[in-house]
A and B are shown apart, each in its own frame.
Chain A
Amino acid sequence: MFRILRQSLRTGVVTERAPACDDAELERLGIELRRQIGEQFAHSLAIRQVDAGSCNGCELEIHALNNPYYDVERFGIHFVASPRHADALLVTGPVSRHMETALLRTWRATPSPKLVIAAGTCACTGGEFGVSYASCGAVENVIPVDVKIPGCPPAPLDLLRGLLAAISREGRCRTGVQLRARRQPAPPQTQVL
């Protein structure tokens, strides 16, 4: 017990006040994120992460969002276990054809209005894998996508920027994250090939 306390005390708090970055614009990003989540999502944005075929690189960086440096829960962002509890889907990977139906069902199970965020180059464009007999390519080939966060994988800060862009119009302008006009919920068009 004393060893644990000593280690904890010696380490101190490493959490960075806003998303760690040298430029002041990002200092504001975390505060902005919290404000937007406060206004639009009653201080809590629930995200269901779906790996639809990624190499696991994106998952490592999404995990990193929860490490003590980024600690996204303090902004009101938390990852939930069921799509039924989620405000947003965070989808990674090119959508493998073996995950196509599972992703579609997850999307259907998410209550509207559902934000869909495609995280990582593969999710945005198909990346290294593209479209093939086994891969549907980009996430938007299977379900409508609101925001794309490129990067292979996107670093935790890029993910935070993308999340802000997903929920705030101001954030979209500021961060330059690619955004596409919000579609009305419509039956998804599967466009393989």
Chain B
Amino acid sequence: MSAFDWLSEYLARLEDEHVLVRHGEAKSLSPAHRLVLDAEDWGMAGSVAAGMGCRWVGAWGDPRELNVVVRVCLEHLGDYLVIETEVPLSRPLLASHTPYFPGANRLERHLRDLSGVAFLDHPDRRRWTRHQAWPDGDFPLRVDYPAAGRSHKRAQADADYPFAGIHGGGVYEIPVGPVHAGIIEPGHFRFQAVGEEVLRLEARLGYVHKGIEKSAVGRDPGGLARLAGRVSGDSTVAHAWAACQAMERAATCNVPPRAAILRALFSERERIANHLGDIGAICNDVGFAFVHVQCARLREQWHRRSAELFGHRFMMDAVIPGGVAHDLTPEGAALLRMDHAALRQVIEPLFDIVDDHPSLDDRLLSTGYLSNADARALGCTGYVGKASGQGFDVRRDNPYSPYDTHPVTVPVETAGDVAARVRVRMAEVRISLSLMDQLLEAMPAGAIAAPMPTPQSNSVGLGLVEGWRGEVLSFVRFDAQGRIARFFPRDPSWFTWPALERLIQGNIVPDFPVCNKSVNGSYAGQDL
């Protein structure tokens, strides 16, 4: 089925509900189609989309002088649709999509906290990204809000956030964080447990909110790429690529084929590094240090090679607007081929052990089960979705260069437990290794960057990239001077954090670390 099939069906259903589509086009936010709707039809548009089985990809507000433009991205069968509406600042009210898409919950609250659009029938009226750094009624993304803020006082701890409680005989609470016991990002987890069993987990994030969306305003394309590379340090290539893709589409810049292949090479290297680290850490969390040490060793070698060839251990700032910052010499390519062969040889016996070691099986099988229905309802992508039967992968389902000519196999599991997420990661390491060999083989000669044309005033672009955690979305709007007026990066963690809350239910408290690591949501990527 092609995009037009379900789009016409969607339009027909909207018409049945007397929803007027003001404007529709397929150009400005390509590859997505764009539909402009009236604010009063917003809820119906979400309801119809849910009825057709769309996945809710993200929402972001774009405050202007007098109104706030709200956009929601939807995906179905690999095709993207952006619906758009605007609400006046004098009456910034909109129907919520959360009743139809549970995954929309926190993004809508984030949108409300920062842009000041109230979602009328939102089932959760609590703040999300806002703690105590700015008061209720201040909306930092509004045009008239100073980037430096209005308050100079110390921000108090957000001590009175109303967590949902469970009452009953023998129920107790475990508060954890924001400062955790390990070398981890900050966040707060509130467990309600009986004995060893977790009845409920509620995460409270937003601790590392540092105003990325606001500090993007006024940057030039290069500056935005640097910022995007620091949305989530472990996904620096994915976020930088998505942001650059969005800017390049907005400014109609054609990235040279060699640069596209190098970007994919960086991105697959990032995927392998993170998967190796996490496979090891998952095993370590159940006391199997052997795999942890082996994987840490392989990962260190991998980072050293990245530093040697691409100037940075995590390849930060390697993706720049128009192309990439580092070329690969033939000697470098030969080294990489050797690395790939060596890694393939080492991981086979290692992954074999991970796959069927009885003590690992005992701890990982059936632990942290996420049902296909939950993964689907929340819109999980990446290994969390793939381990629960949701096989979406941007590289395959809406391929961007160079994946349009280098198809990717997507591993899908249905067991939904920690072991399945480990298996998906192991499969992705293997697939990425052979993909990188193909990419090296196919690398054409030529430039590694094209000059960025000056974007037109108000031009917009959408970047969609498959990072190692899953689908990364990036939205960019330029102002009249060719600088950034709005940047919104949506990390896949927005949907995997709620998945963690579901998959931990019924597990024992001591299994939380391994469940958490198997999902490994980004705090920084979610808090922005």
Contact = CB atoms under 8 A, between A and B. Distances in A.
Interface of A: 3-4, 6-8, 11, 14, 49-64, 66-69, 79, 81-83, 93-94, 96-102, 104-106, 127-135, 152-153, 155, 190, 192-193
A57 B230 contact: yes
B202 to A, nearest CB: 17
B194 interface: no
A124 to B, nearest CB: 15
Interface of B: 131-134, 140, 145-150, 152-158, 178-179, 181-186, 206-212, 214-215, 226-227, 230-234, 236, 277, 290, 293-294, 296-297, 299-300, 303, 307, 313-314, 316, 349-350, 352-353, 522-524, 527
Q: Which of A50, A54, A155 has the most CB of B within 10 A?
A: A54
A162 to B, nearest CB: 16
A155 B186 CA distance: 22
Contact of A11 (B185, B231, B232, B294): B294
Given A64-B296, A82-B181, A102-B186, 8 more contacts: A59-B183, A64-B303, A94-B210, A98-B158, A99-B207, A133-B147, A152-B230, A193-B148
Contact of B210 (A62, A63, A96): A96
B215 A132 contact: yes
Given A101-B154, A193-B149, A134 B314 contact: no
A130 B146 CA distance: 14
B376 to A, nearest CB: 28
Contact of B349 (A7, A101, A132, A192): A7
A134 B186 contact: no
A6 B185 CA distance: 36
The residue in A6, A51, A130 that gathers the most chain B C-beta atoms within 10 A of its C-beta is: A51
Contacts, number: 179
Best-buried of B153, B157, B211 by chain A (most CB within 10 Å): B211
A60 B148 contact: no
A179 B293 CA distance: 34
Contact of A128 (B146, B155, B227): B227
Question: Most A CB atoms within 10 A — which of B179, B182, B184, B300?
Answer: B179
Contacts of A63: 183, 277
B233 A101 contact: no
B214 A56 contact: no
Contacts of A98: 131-133, 155, 158, 206-209
Contact of A190 (B134, B154, B158): B154
Contact of B296 (A67, A104, A155): A67
26 contacts: A7-B290, A7-B294, A54-B208, A55-B236, A55-B524, A56-B232, A56-B523, A57-B316, A60-B314, A66-B296, A67-B299, A81-B182, A93-B208, A98-B131, A98-B158, A98-B207, A98-B208, A98-B209, A99-B186, A100-B155, A101-B154, A102-B178, A129-B210, A133-B146, A192-B154, A193-B149
A122 B527 CA distance: 17
Contacts of B524: 54-56
Contacts of B236: 55, 57
Given A59-B185, A101-B154, A8 B131 contact: no
A83 B290 CA distance: 29
A56 B208 CA distance: 10
A192 B148 CA distance: 9
Given A102-B157, A102-B178, A133 B140 contact: yes
Contacts of B153: 192
Enumerate the 7 nearest inter-chain pairs by beta-carbon distance, A residue then B residue, closest first. Answer: A57-B233, A133-B149, A134-B211, A81-B181, A97-B133, A67-B296, A55-B233
Contacts of A153: 233, 314
Q: Which of B210, B236, B290 has the most CB of A within 10 A?
A: B210
Nearest to A5: B290
Contacts of A68: 293, 296-297, 300
B154 A3 contact: no
A130 B227 CA distance: 11
A66 B182 CA distance: 12
Contacts of B158: 98
Nearest to A152: B316
B426 to A, nearest CB: 16
Nearest to B352: A3
Given A100-B155, A101-B157, A134 B210 contact: yes
B209 A96 contact: yes
A96 B233 contact: no
A69 B297 contact: yes
A101 B156 contact: yes
Contacts of A104: 154
